[in-house]
Every structure is written in structure tokens, then in C-alpha cells.
Amino acid sequence: MTDEQAVHQAITTISQSDPLIKLLQQVKLGQMRASDPGLRAITEAWLGTYQKVLDTTALTRQALVRLDPSPRLDVLIEAGVLNPDHQGVSSLRAGFEKALAQAASV
């Protein structure tokens, strides 16, 4: 599998549970609360899926940069869906930095 194919597959996997795509607009419109249990469950699943993709997909540094979770995490934090000190946020950011470091050493 080429690097481009691997990135595309990773993005597809992450997007399947991405709360930004389907639910964040409802929060912004006031149709759903940021603390809604369903939204929390989807967000937790998304964090886990994202981490799993980073842990199991061998990508170059250039490809990994395209998967940086920070912009999406920042939007979720700004909307009040996640707290900046949430363990999943910290773990995902650390996992991404670790994957980048490992890719740079290859």
C-alpha cells in the first residue's frame, strides 16, 4: 500500500466516528448540549479510533502531518465538547507526537 493510500484509509477510518461532521453543528445551533451523553460516547469512540489509527498505521512524517488531531481537538474544546485536560485529549496529542518522532527516525 502506498503512503497516499494509507493516509486515505486512515482518514476514512477516523471520519466514520468523527463528531465534528454530524453533531457539532447541532451543538452550535443549540439543538444538542455539549454535555449530551450520546455526543460524549461518540467523542470518546472517535478519540479511541484516532489513537488506534496512529498506533497501527505505518506512515511517513509527511503523511502523519496530514493526520494531526490538534485542529479537530481544538474545535471540540472550543465548543465545550471536550476539556483541554481530558485524558483522551492528552493521550491523543502525545500519541501523535510519538508517531511523528518515530516516523522521523525511520
How do residues 29-78 score in pLDDT, each as one tens digit?
Answer: 889 898 899 889 989 999 999 999 999 888 889 889 999 999 999 999 99
Return the percent helix, strand and coil in the chain, to nearest 5.
70, 0, 30
Q: What integer pLDDT is reported at residue 86 of this predicted model?
A: 95
User: What is the pLDDT at residue 96?
Assistant: 96
Whole-prediction pTM: 0.85
Counting Cβ atoms within 10 Å, is residue 100 exposed (0-12), middle (13-18) or buried (19+)? Answer: middle
DSSP-derived secondary structure letter, 81: S
- At 11 the pLDDT is 86
